[in-house]
Structure 1
C-alpha cells in the first residue's frame, strides 16, 4: 500500500489522505497506467516480431544483362541508381517469377506500343527492366532471347536476375531502385493490364503532379460488375471484397483498387518512396500508398482495361491471410515508430560509389 504521498501536489495529497475514495481513485489510476504500459509494450514487441526487414541486394544482383549491338548477350553490367539524375523519359519495371510461359507475350505488347508511342524521333528515350525474382525456370533467358529475336540491340532491354527470391514487392523495389526514367511504371508480367493505357495514366499523372511528385494508380474498381470480375470464383470475389473492407477499416480510403499491378510514378516520388519500403510480399502496394499519404504525394486513380490471365502465382487462402497480417503490422509499425518514412533522406544528394572512394 502506498503511504508516502509526497510526490503528489499538496492539494491532491491532502484530498487523498483525507478520503478513502481519493485513495481508491489513486490506486485505480496507477493500476490502469501500469496495465496500459504493459499492453503497449506487448503490442510494440509483437509488431516488431512480425514486421518485415527488407533483404539487402546481393553483390551479383547489382548488375544486369542486355543485348549488345552485335546481337550477343552481354556480360553483367553495373546498374544505375534511382538517386542519379534521369537518363530516359520512361522506365518500365516488370517483376517476373517463373514467367517463361507468359512474359514473351507481355513484352511483345510493351515494345510494340512504346516503339509507336515514344519513337526515336520524339527524343524521349525509354527502357524496359525485367527483374527475374529468383525463378526456377528460364524467365531471364526467355526475355533476353525475345530482345535478340526483335533485334533490340540498343540496350533498352535490361534483365536483372535475383539470386534468391524476394517476393513481388522486393522484385518491384529492386527494379525501381535502378530505373533511369523521369517517369517509372511497374507492370505485371502476366499482361493482364492493357499496356496502351499508359498514355492515359501519364496524362492524368501530369495533371496532378506537384513539384515533380505524383503517382497514377491503374484501377479495376470500375469493373466490379463486369463479366471479367463476375465470372471469377465466388471465393475469390468474397476474398476481394473482404480485403477491401479490411483496407477501409485501416484507413486506406483514397484508392479503391490498391492491388492493380500497373502504377506510374514521377522520379521524385519514387525516390521518396522506394528506398523507405519494408514489405516485399503481396501487400507492398499498400505500403506504397501509406508512404505517399504520409509524404503528401499527389495520387490519382485511373481506370484501365484488364482481363483475367490464368497462371497466377498467388495461393488465395494462404496469401490472403498473410496479406491481412502484413496490413496490420505495416499500419501499426508506422504508428509505433518501428518503421520510418525517411523524411530526413528525401533531399539527400546522391553520391556515386566512385565519388565515395575519392572522399
Structure 2
C-alpha cells in the first residue's frame, strides 16, 4: 500500500507551486541524491524558489532509496517522497505522483540524467507558457540525432517506426524520458491510458495526438548512461503487445459496428463450411447424406446440442473457483462464439475471442480468462485421454491390440479409401503425446501448488534481469495460481471432471447415432467401445494445429481405428467420420452465429462497457491505496 508523501499530507495543496517535477525511482540509491540536487539547482536557475516541487516517485524499491528520499524530503520542503510498498510500474508510479502533485505543469525525466539538463527550461516553459499542452524531448530529430550503441539504437528505431506506422503518430521519439504535461492534458488522458509500465508515456503521446492536444517535440542532447535495459521479455512481449493492443483500440474497434459484426458472423459461417471442402471431398459428403436416415441424423445433432449447456455449466464452475460468479447462458454463448472461431483459425486462435468477451462484458481479467480456458482444455484432454486408455485396457484384455499394431504398420486400404502407414503413425504419435502432456501438466500444476518456491519468478528471471520482469511475472503468477485453484481443490477437480466426462460421453453418443444413421449393423457393445476409442484418439490428434478445426486429422483417426477394430469397411468408416464431424461443426457454427446475435457481441458496445469497467477498477484501486 502507499503511504502519504513525506514532508506533507498527500491531500494538502501548496499555494504558489506552478511546476511539479517527478523523478521515477527504482533502486536508485547510488544516484538519487545527486539527481535531486542537480534538479533543484537547475529549476532555481529559471524559476522562483517557491514555484516548484520535486517528487521522488519511489516504486517499491528494495535498496536504500526510500531512506535517502525520506532524508532529502525532511531537509528541503520542496522535495516530496511518494513511496509504494509494491511495484506500480514506471507509468503507475508517474501517474500516482502526478495526481498528488500541486503544480499545473507536470514534468518528469529519468533519474540517470541521460538528457542534458540545459534543456529543462525549454521543456518546462513549452507547457508553463500555455503555448503547448505536451512537450517531449527527442533523440531522433534530423538536426540532432543521438549517437547510441547498436543494442539501444536499433531496437529504438524499430520501436518508433512501429509506433508511427501502426498508431499513426507524427512524433519521432516516443520513449525519451524527458516530458511535460499540462494538468488538463494529464487529467484528460490518464483514464484513457491502460498501460502502467514502459508503454505509459508512448500511449500518453499517441492518445494526446488523437485528442488534438498541442504537442512540441524538440531535439535534446542525450548520452546513454548505465547498462542497457533492452531485453527479450520487455521489448517483444511487453512493448510489441501494447502497440498491437492500442492499434486495435484506436484504429479497429471503432469501425466495427453491430452491422459489421453480424455480417462477419455470417461470413464466418460460410468460410468455415467452405474450409471443410479443402480437406473433405464435397461429393463424398453428398453421397453420405443420400444414404443416411435423416431422423437419426437430427437425433445425433440434438444429442450434441445437449453437450453445450454442460460446457457452460463446467465453465461456470471453473470461474466460480477463480472467484467470478457468472450466468450459465452467457458463458454457453461465449463458448459457442469462441469455438466457431476455432473452426476457422488454426492453433485455437478463437479462444482469444472468449477471453475478450468475458473481459469486456464481465470484467474478468485476461490472465484469469486465459487461465480458465487452459483449465478447460486440460480437463478435455484428460477426459478423452482417460477414455482412450480405458478402451485400450479393454482391447488388451480381449487380445485386440494386434489389430492396432497391424494398422500402424500397414495403414488402411479398401475400395477408394486409403490411409498410408505414415499418416496413421502421425495420428497415433500426436494423440499419445498430447495425452501424456495433459496428464503430466496436471500433476505439475498440482505439485507446484504445494511448493514453497516461486518457480515462475525464478524461471522467467533467467531470461531477463530487467525490472519489467516483475510486471510480467505478476501476470504469469496470476495465470498459474488460477490453474492451481482448480487443480489443487479436490472438490472442484471432481465436479469439473464429472462435467467433462458427461460432455465427452455425449460427443461419443453422437458418433454412435451417426453410425446407426448410416445403417451400420454390428454388436452395439462393440460399436460403443470402438467409438469411444476412435473419437478419443481423433480428438487428441486434432489438438495439433495443422488445419482449422482439426479437419482432416479427426477423420483419419476415426476412419483408421473404426476400420481396424470393428467389422466396418474403410469407406463406411470415412463416411461416418465425415458426417460426424459435419454434424458437430454445423451445430457449432449455427450456435456461434445465434450467440453473436443474442449476446449482441458488437465491439463498439464492448468498448464502452470495457471503458466503464476500467474506470471502476481504477477508482477501486485508488480507494484501496
TM-score under structure 1 normalisation? 0.65
The Cα shift of 1:174 comes to 1.2
Is 2:22 aligned against 1:90? no
Contact 1:185 1:264 in 2 (8 A): yes
Q: CA deviation at 1:132?
A: 0.7
Query: Which residue does 2:5 correspond to in 1?
Result: 64
SS at the partner of 1:293? Answer: helix
Deviates more, 1:168-177 or 1:198-207: 198-207
1:78 correspondence with 2:3: no
Deviation at 1:159, TM superposition (A): 0.4
Distance change (3 Å), C-alpha of 1:339 and 1:315? farther
Cα displacement (A) at 1:173: 1.0
Q: Which residue of 1 aligns with 2:92?
A: 170
Residue in 1 that maps onto 2:109: 187
**Aligned twin of 2:204:** 288
Aligned length: 259
Q: 1:331 aligns with which of 247, 268, 273?
A: 247
- 1:194 Cα deviation after fit: 2.1
CA contact (8 A) 1:176 1:274 kept: no
What's 1:237 paired with? Answer: 153
SS of aligned partner of 2:104: strand
What is residue 220 of structure 1 aligned with on the other side?
A: 139
Match of 2:54 among 128, 139, 152: 128
Distance 1:100 1:223 in 2: 36
Structure 1: how far apart are the matches of 2:127 and 2:73? 29
- Partners of 1:271 and 1:204 lie apart in 2 by 18
Structure-2 separation of matches of 1:85 and 1:288: 26
Residue 45 of structure 2 aligns to a residue whose secondary structure is: helix
Specify which of 231, 234, 246 is matched with residue 319 of structure 1: 234
Higher-Rg member (1/2): 2
Separation in 1 of the partners of 2:14 and 2:51?
Answer: 14
- The alpha carbon displacement at 1:125 in A equals 1.6
Distance 1:306 1:101, change over 3 A: same
Give the secondary-structure state (helix, strand or coil) at the position aligned to 1:301: strand
Q: Matches of 1:224 and 1:339 in 2, distance apart? A: 41
Q: Report deviation, 1:237.
A: 2.2
Alignment match, 1:108: 37
**Equivalent position to 1:142, from 62, 65, 68:** 68
User: Relative contact order (alpha carbons < 8 A, sep ≥ 6): 1 or 2 greater?
Assistant: 1
* CA deviations over 1:5-64 (Å, ceiling 9, x no partner): xxxxxxxxxxxxxxxxxxxxxxxxxxxxxxxxxxxxxxxxxxxxxxxxxxxxx4xx1511
Q: Deviation at 1:225? A: 7.4
Q: Secondary structure at the match of 1:281?
A: coil
Whether the 8 Å contact between 2:6 and 2:80 is mirrored in structure 1 is yes
Kept in 2: contact 1:214–1:297 (CA 8 A): yes
How many angstroms apart in 2 are the aligned matches of 1:190 and 1:269? 26
Does residue 265 (structure 1) correspond to residue 206 (structure 2)? The answer is no
User: Aligned equivalents of 2:248 and 2:14: distance in 1?
Assistant: 34
> Secondary structure of 2:155's match?
helix
Query: Could you tell me which residue of structure 1 aligns to residue 164 of structure 2?
Result: 248
Q: Quick check: 1:204–1:302 contact (8 Å CA) kept in 2?
A: no
Give structure 2 stretches of 5+ with no counterpart: 254-603, 613-621
Which whole-Å deviations, capped at 9, do the CAs of 1:227-275 have from their partners, x for residues lacking one? x524x1x333221221122112213432101001111111111111224
Residues 151, 230 of structure 2: 8 Å contact kept: no
TM-aligned CA deviation for residue 188 of structure 1: 1.1
- Deviation of 1:311 after TM superposition, in Å, equals 4.0
C-alpha displacement at 1:142, in angstroms? 1.7
Q: 1:92 to 1:140 in 2, by over 3 A?
A: same
Give 3-state SS (helix, strand or coil) of 2:147's partner: helix
Taking the aligned partners of 1:144 and 1:339, their CA distance within structure 2 comes to: 42
Q: Report if the CA contact (8 A) 2:108-2:177 is conserved.
A: yes
The corresponding residue for 1:12 is: none
Which is richer in strand? Answer: 1
Deviation at 1:292, TM superposition (A): 0.8
CA shift for structure 1 position 316: 2.2
* SS of aligned partner of 1:191: coil
Q: Give the Cα separation in 1 of the matches to 2:9 and 2:123.
A: 30
For residues 142 and 59 of structure 2, what CA distance do their matches in structure 1 show?
A: 30
Q: TM-score, normalised by structure 2?
A: 0.38
Contact 1:80 1:180 in 2 (8 A): no
